[in-house]
Structure 1
Amino acid sequence: MSHSLNADGFFFSMKKYYLIFLIVAATAGCMTVNKQEPCLDLRHEIMIYQDQIDSLRHMNFAYQMCVDSLYSEMSALQDSIAFLSSATRIKNHLDFPDTLYYAGYAFDLTNERIFQKFHYWYLAELKFAYKYIPRTTKYFPVIENILTENGLDDDIKYLAVAESYLSPLAHSSAGATGFWQFMKSTAKYYDIEMNQFVDQRRDIFASTRAACEYLNWSLKALTNKGAPDILLAICAFNSGLSNITRVINEQGGTDFFSLIQRKAETDDYVWRTLAVKYIIENENKIFTKPFKKEPSIYESCRIVPLVLEGHYKLDAWAQAQGTVIREVWELNPWLKIYKRNNYTHSPVNDVVVSPGEFTVLVPKGSVPNAGEVARIEQQFKEENNGYFTEHVVKSGENLWIIASRYHTSVSHLMSINGLKSATIYPGQKLNLISLKTNPKKYYLVKKGDTLSSISSKLGVANQKLIQTNNLKVKRSNGRNIVLIYPGQKLYY
């Protein structure tokens, strides 16, 4: 097929290509600019579109996670159906005792209402026993030791079963995560590290210590209110202490059996815990044969403390410990895979640990090279001198390219670098990890304390305490009132 082009058509085509050339040149010119001639207007529009692209990518990722979660739920339900279809697994005609005990409290099963509550949750939790019973031998020894250290009853370990079936990867739709299902807003007050590299809510050691601290604090607060009941402290672990004290104030009761909780979930929480305790302790009576158990952490792992002042990869450290990074990642579910984008290629997977103090599990049979371990751990104590801390802008780069490479967002890069516009230039150094760290020092609020008195004791401004701790300020009678309570941790 032949084509003809007249003069008007020729000039029209030339104009079109010339316009395209101008757009490309303008865009390229705004990737990196010198300090004298920033293309601010066009650059601003481009950044708006890039932020929208980032947002859509995050939405797509969230939707994919939901799909994956649904597939996981379907798989779990299929497992449950298969398990329950095996008539040889569960014995029939099981007789229950008249009384069950939990954390020193007696539950009278001759009381019809109490029996109904217990029996409902017994049947509900029975079908998931294949999940949590095998894990008890792995995690219970660790939990029991930490409970003893904190002066709590050994039965509290069954609370972790009710929370997560002892799965470190358990995650609720509300965002609660890990063995004890801590929400981020609560976990941050108990020195639990959570970022794009680690999530200590999935660490059996850190999360169990945090759970003990919360329970002891709740029990102390309830005792001061004339309700020294560990079952109510357990309820507080589920719904928050303020909800429990509100029920006490409204109804006048001072123990679990004399109160009706505001939410059924809070009340059921205790019955679920009682049910899983009975199922675990009576495995041989309930099932025709015992479940295969997982080995204890103390039997299968070495426990290694690790302190870092900067962000570091653990590859060399793992080898110095006589193992490989894959083994360390598998044994420590609180470690995340950091996906570092490298332009056009697939993301690079790294295991990076942020600054902090951690308990790391390594294989029991691994033999460490003591000298090499000491050398590497000494490097770890160098602040912000590890995996990456900054990026030097190269010609042709813009914030969107840099953000994509390091698996972050343009807005985050602008925030941690204090950028008021998206204009960057070759040779400019950009922080990749915020140099601001969570404060480790805290003051424990005592009865009679006010924010002003605490501010004077610490030598810290009121406003800094309010901002650092996200405190709520209420206006009353023309005055600002800051809400704090005894036992609260105020970081500074």
Structure 2
Amino acid sequence: MSKFLLLLLPLLLFGNFKFNDNYEKQVEILRKFDVDSSFLNDRFLIRLFHKYQSEDKKLFFFRAMSDAILFLPTIKKMLSDSNIPNEFLYLAIAESSLVSRSFSNKHAAGIWQFIPSTARLYGLRVDNYIDERLDMIKSTKVAIKFLSDMYKLFGKWYLAAIAYNCGKGTLRNAIAKAGTDRLEVLIDPEKKYLPKESRIYIRKILALALLEGSDSIFNSQKSYILNTGNTFSIATVYIGGGEKLENVAKDIGMDVKELERLNAHIVYGVTPPDNKKYKIYIPYFKLADFKSKYKSRRIFRGEFEYVVQKGDTLYNIGKRYNCDHESIAKINHIQNNKLYIGQKLKIPILYNPEPPKKEPVISNIPQDAHYSKIYKVKKGDTLYSIAKLFKTDIESLMEKNGLESPNIYIGDSLIVK
């Protein structure tokens, strides 16, 4: 008897739950995913929907939206322009809660949760300076391309969403085993045609989308977030390569952490030195300030590797190479300023396009016989590139030439051998 009651418990708890709430709107949402309205009777979907209607889950829903509020109008327009239902925004919420700096234990990252290999396959840059998986706009373009490809392959939007989670191969096999692509069959918990994660995943996306169509959300004080307009949109501007976001934030009177949050893909807060210019995002209402107050300051030229020695501290390493020790800590993800002997650090190379007023580093080179090679610095040279050219290291070049930092200037003469 007790076992029988236990089996009935889910039906007793959820059997009377219905989508009375804005029913026509919710049927319309399901149809956008090519899902039949009868799926509103799926008890697992009902369970998720009512779970998301709790106050703490609604708070999560709006927090996810508000964290990405500046990008929402652009993302929705991109989806719409590509003939993808706007409700696919909830796929990103299911993946990452719309947190750009979202990382999984499978090395996926960004609001659309791409792994590095997939990101690079679709043309996103992932390296020491830039991780475009964290760029909300560029990663959305890739998500649109992937979803469009899956829709062309499978013909239904709910199948494109499932393929996004488990891959087209797994979905193909599931459809072959089931003998149909009907949603209620593919996600049957007894047959297990699809992995459990994928069965939950599609229901989660649908439940979140249905939540937007519910009266409880539209009657909320924060419902304005769902209809965010251009007032909260972003502007795209260009700054130089090797520039710090911190300096741009000061120019336009903006909190640096907020600017870094909008540009989470710029990993160290410095645009890539190998680019002459690089695109960043700012709030649209800051565009006028940018046009009138922004000053280009190229700070970083590149980086070289330093191995920590006994007695080293971040402060004295920074002083030795004329570099802010906080920048070294940030680039190397160091917390509490702790170092260990043998640790490899990336040291940013400072860059100044204007030559100093003083004479070049070596104005009178001694005619000693052991100075067999003198090199004159050209445009584009760094101490690192020169050291690499002559198969030596930066420390040796600095010692031979009496340099206090790795900064060099066009026209300097350097002892290289």
TM-score, scaled to structure 2: 0.59
The question of whether the paired residues in 2 share the 8 Å contact of 1:219 and 1:228 is answered with: yes
Q: Distance in 1 between matches of 2:346 and 2:207?
A: 49
Query: Deviation at 1:212?
Result: 0.3
1:358 lines up with 2:279 in the alignment: yes
Q: Which runs of 5+ in 2 are unaligned?
A: 1-16, 188-192, 319-327, 333-341, 348-384, 400-405, 407-417
Please list, as runs of the form range in 1=range in 2, the aligned pairs for 1:283-302 lying within 5 A after superposition: 284-285=215-216, 289-291=220-222, 296=228, 298-302=230-234
Query: Deviation at 1:130?
Result: 0.8
1:252 lines up with 2:179 in the alignment: yes
The question of whether the paired residues in 2 share the 8 Å contact of 1:232 and 1:255 is answered with: no
- 2:50 corresponds to which of 107, 115, 123: 123
Higher relative contact order (CA 8 A, sep 6+): 1
Amino acid across the alignment from 2:270:
V
**SS of residue matched to 1:334:** coil
**SS of residue matched to 2:279:** strand
Query: Deviation at 1:163?
Result: 1.9
The question of whether the paired residues in 2 share the 8 Å contact of 1:102 and 1:274 is answered with: no
Q: Distance in 1 between matches of 2:288 and 2:35?
A: 49
Amino acid across the alignment from 2:89:
K
1:299-331, Cα deviation, whole Å (9 max, x unpaired): 1354123365x4322344444545464442244
**SS of residue matched to 1:105:** coil
- 1:329 corresponds to which of 260, 272, 282: 260
Residue 189 (structure 1) aligns with: 121
Amino acid across the alignment from 1:361:
I
Q: Distance in 1 between matches of 2:180 and 2:165?
A: 19
Query: Deviation at 1:238?
Result: 0.7
Q: Distance in 1 between matches of 2:122 and 2:195?
A: 26
Q: Distance in 2 between matches of 1:298 and 1:203?
A: 19
**SS of residue matched to 2:288:** coil
Query: Deviation at 1:119?
Result: 1.0
1:387 lines up with 2:316 in the alignment: no
1:426 lines up with 2:396 in the alignment: yes
Q: Distance in 1 between matches of 2:34 and 2:176?
A: 23
**SS of residue matched to 1:277:** helix
Residue 203 (structure 1) aligns with: 135
Query: Deviation at 1:241?
Result: 1.6
Please list, as runs of the form range in 1=range in 2, the aligned pairs for 1:390-429 lying within 5 A after superposition: 390=303, 406-407=328-329, 408=332, 425-427=395-397
In structure 2, the CA distance between the partners of 1:329 and 1:413, relative to structure 1 (3 Å rule), is closer
The question of whether the paired residues in 1 share the 8 Å contact of 2:165 and 2:201 is answered with: yes
Q: Distance in 2 between matches of 1:188 and 1:401?
A: 37
Query: Deviation at 1:235?
Result: 0.8
1:319-375, Cα deviation, whole Å (9 max, x unpaired): 454546444224434344x3xxxxxxxxxxxx21225653412361463364764x7
Please list, as runs of the form range in 1=range in 2, the aligned pairs for 1:142-181 lying within 5 A after superposition: 142-181=74-113
Q: Distance in 1 between matches of 2:35 and 2:140?
A: 25
1:214 lines up with 2:139 in the alignment: no
Query: Deviation at 1:135?
Result: 4.5
1:155-178, Cα deviation, whole Å (9 max, x unpaired): 222222222222323333333322
The question of whether the paired residues in 2 share the 8 Å contact of 1:180 and 1:208 is answered with: yes
The question of whether the paired residues in 2 share the 8 Å contact of 1:143 and 1:208 is answered with: yes
Residue 88 (structure 1) aligns with: none
The question of whether the paired residues in 2 share the 8 Å contact of 1:328 and 1:361 is answered with: yes
1:95 lines up with 2:20 in the alignment: yes
The question of whether the paired residues in 2 share the 8 Å contact of 1:103 and 1:154 is answered with: no
Q: Distance in 2 between matches of 1:371 and 1:134?
A: 33
In structure 2, the CA distance between the partners of 1:200 and 1:187, relative to structure 1 (3 Å rule), is same
In structure 2, the CA distance between the partners of 1:173 and 1:397, relative to structure 1 (3 Å rule), is closer
In structure 2, the CA distance between the partners of 1:228 and 1:203, relative to structure 1 (3 Å rule), is same
Query: Deviation at 1:428?
Result: 6.4
Range moving further from structure 2, 285-294 or 141-150: 285-294
Amino acid across the alignment from 1:285:
S
Q: Distance in 2 between matches of 1:106 and 1:424?
A: 63
Q: Distance in 1 between matches of 2:107 and 2:249?
A: 31
Q: Distance in 2 between matches of 1:397 and 1:165?
A: 39
**SS of residue matched to 1:174:** coil
1:201-224, Cα deviation, whole Å (9 max, x unpaired): 33321221111011112223x2xx
Amino acid across the alignment from 1:358:
K
Query: Deviation at 1:182?
Result: 2.0
Q: Distance in 2 between matches of 1:147 and 1:196?
A: 30
Residue 28 (structure 1) aligns with: none
Q: Distance in 2 between matches of 1:399 and 1:148?
A: 58
Q: Distance in 1 between matches of 2:49 and 2:207?
A: 5
Q: Which runs of 5+ in 1 are unaligned?
A: 1-91, 339-350, 381-385, 433-492
- 1:230 corresponds to which of 132, 157, 160: 157
Residue 368 (structure 1) aligns with: 289
RMSD of aligned residue pairs (Cα, Å) = 4.4
Q: Distance in 2 between matches of 1:369 and 1:141?
A: 21
Amino acid across the alignment from 1:241:
K
1:271-292, Cα deviation, whole Å (9 max, x unpaired): 111111111221x336974337
Residue 324 (structure 2) aligns with: none
Query: Deviation at 1:425?
Result: 4.9
Q: Distance in 2 between matches of 1:399 and 1:194?
A: 33
In structure 2, the CA distance between the partners of 1:307 and 1:94, relative to structure 1 (3 Å rule), is same
In structure 2, the CA distance between the partners of 1:410 and 1:424, relative to structure 1 (3 Å rule), is farther
Amino acid across the alignment from 2:34:
Y
1:243 lines up with 2:203 in the alignment: no
The question of whether the paired residues in 1 share the 8 Å contact of 2:96 and 2:113 is answered with: yes
Q: Distance in 2 between matches of 1:274 and 1:247?
A: 20
**SS of residue matched to 1:352:** coil
Residue 3 (structure 1) aligns with: none
In structure 2, the CA distance between the partners of 1:279 and 1:254, relative to structure 1 (3 Å rule), is closer
Identity of aligned residues (%): 19
**SS of residue matched to 1:353:** coil
In structure 2, the CA distance between the partners of 1:107 and 1:254, relative to structure 1 (3 Å rule), is closer
In structure 2, the CA distance between the partners of 1:155 and 1:268, relative to structure 1 (3 Å rule), is same
